[in-house]
Amino acid sequence: MTQSRSSANRPLSPHLQIYKPIPTMVMSIVHRITGSALYVGTLLVAWWLIAAATNEEYFNFVNAIYGSWIGRLVLLGYTWALIHHMIGGIRHLIWDTGRGLDKDTTTKMAWASLILSVALTILIWIAAFTIA
């Protein structure tokens, strides 16, 4: 079987330049990114715990960094990544049961995971500032 000249120049497998981004595809990519971001965030939590176990001066130093505007922005991002990744995991768990796999439902679940993760992050931060 001979290949035509035009088919020989095409890529052998699909890639992002071919596909039009759809909500489920974007949420899948974001799920991977948030999973990677959680590694860095967990190192920050470990640093804070080590500082707490070391001495008061070092703990105050780390708290000052986390309390700065950039530190709070990083912590906000970590909170959102944690919540978003958890909701994405729940979404995949639901799919593992064979439910919600039709195109309309998967799209709604993708949007819902984004909206819910932002809303829960905002609620957590409101609660944190209300308590503190």
Quote the CA–CA distance of 79 and 65 in Å, as a whole number: 17
Binding residues for heme: 85
Residue 30 tokens, joined: 């974001």
Q: Which helix (H) or strand (E) holds 38?
A: helix 23-54
Quote the CA–CA distance of 110 and 36 in Å, as a whole number: 19
Binding residues: 85
Amino acid at 15: H
